[in-house]
């Protein structure tokens, strides 16, 4: 699903005023989730794997300094941090895996993330993949999140497809990443980016959105109304 959040983040090298972000050249971060008919991933695992994929590409050496992806990453972050999640299986997935990127695996999910591309300049192997209708189920309710670890809390009042929510979880992880110190980023990366994605209770959500933590507000291009609060990133270092 395609999302362009209204960012609510601290000062960082790529943040700009909303108007400037809107007029800058628009780039998108492609993510592809593998969904085989016979063995689809669990919903929560797919959400968490997508968030970790975003963190992985943000921290990859190719995205930093003079790395081969660094220019595209800067251009993308100078605009809105738009992400599009597509799905693939079989031969489609094998073609998607052949393109430069990073595959991140969860318990049952596989998500491949790519360096950003212009909004209208997708590689043909990815452009043909389906976007809408990406939905998944959890075979059983996920366990409670570790209260001492990073949690991406989702809005209990919004009904979003798995594809949409994968992008939102990625936004939340990215906003948390921007707020961390270099030492905190390194510790999270070295630990393998542990995190949980869980739906907050209504009462907990009301507390979270006023608690000063990174908050994703959606631009409303798909599924939900503009300005909807979708994810709060609750990282221990930010509490």
Cβ pair 88, 96 in contact under 8 A: yes
pLDDT at position 149 is 97
pLDDT at position 5 is 58
Place of tokens 């366990």: 143
Sign of the C-alpha dihedral computed for residues 205, 56, 164 and 33 taken in this order: negative
pLDDT at position 2 is 47
Provide the 8-state DSSP code for 118: E
Domain span at 9? 2-134+143-238
pLDDT at position 80 is 82
Provide the residue-wise pLDDT of the chain in tens; the chain has 239 residues.
545 554 444 333 333 334 445 566 789 999 999 999 999 999 999 999 999 999 999 999 999 999 999 999 999 998 788 999 999 999 999 999 999 999 999 999 999 999 999 999 999 999 999 987 778 999 999 999 998 999 999 999 999 999 999 999 999 999 999 999 999 999 999 999 999 999 999 999 999 999 999 999 988 778 888 899 999 999 999 99
pLDDT at position 219 is 80
How far is the first Cα of the chain from the last one, in angstroms, to the nearest whole number?
30
Local structure of 197: helix, strand or coil = strand
Provide the 8-state DSSP code for 181: -
Q: Where are the beta strands (DSSP E) in the chain?
A: 2-3, 5-6, 27-34, 83-88, 102-105, 110-113, 117-118, 151-154, 196-199, 215-218, 229-234
Number of domains in the chain: 1
Closest listed residue to residue 51, CA positions, set 33, 67, 37: 33
Task: Name the pTM for this structure.
Answer: 0.91
pLDDT at position 24 is 61
Residue 128 sits in a domain of what CATH number? 3.40.1490.10
Rounded to the nearest 5°, which phi and psi values hold at 96? -65, -35
State both tokens at 227.
């300005």
Q: Give the H or E element holding residue 96.
A: helix 90-97
Place of tokens 């609510």: 8
Cβ pair 18, 5 in contact under 8 A: no
């Amino acid at each position: 699903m395609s999302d362009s959040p209204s960012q609510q983040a601290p000062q960082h090298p790529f943040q700009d005023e909303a108007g400037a972000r809107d007029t800058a050249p628009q780039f998108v971060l492609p993510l592809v989730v593998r969904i085989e008919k016979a063995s689809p991933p669990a919903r929560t695992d797919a959400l968490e794997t997508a968030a970790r994929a975003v963190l992985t590409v943000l921290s990859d050496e190719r995205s930093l300094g003079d790395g081969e992806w660094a220019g595209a990453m800067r251009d993308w972050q100078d605009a809105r941090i738009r992400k599009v999640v597509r799905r693939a299986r079989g031969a489609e997935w094998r073609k998607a895996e052949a393109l430069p990127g990073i595959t991140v695996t969860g318990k049952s999910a596989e998500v491949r993330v790519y360096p950003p591309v212009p909004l209208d300049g997708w590689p043909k192997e990815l452009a043909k993949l389906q976007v809408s209708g990406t939905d998944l189920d959890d075979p059983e309710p996920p366990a409670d999140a570790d209260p001492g670890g990073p949690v991406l809390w989702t809005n209990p009042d919004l009904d979003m497809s798995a594809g949409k929510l994968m992008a939102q979880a990625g936004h939340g992880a990215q906003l948390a990443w921007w707020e961390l110190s270099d030492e905190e980023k390194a510790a999270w990366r070295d630990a393998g980016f542990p995190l949980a994605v869980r739906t907050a209770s209504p009462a907990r959500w009301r507390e979270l959105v006023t608690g000063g933590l990174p908050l994703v507000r959606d631009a409303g291009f798909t599924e939900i109304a503009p300005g909807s609060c979708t994810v709060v990133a609750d990282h221990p270092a930010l509490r």
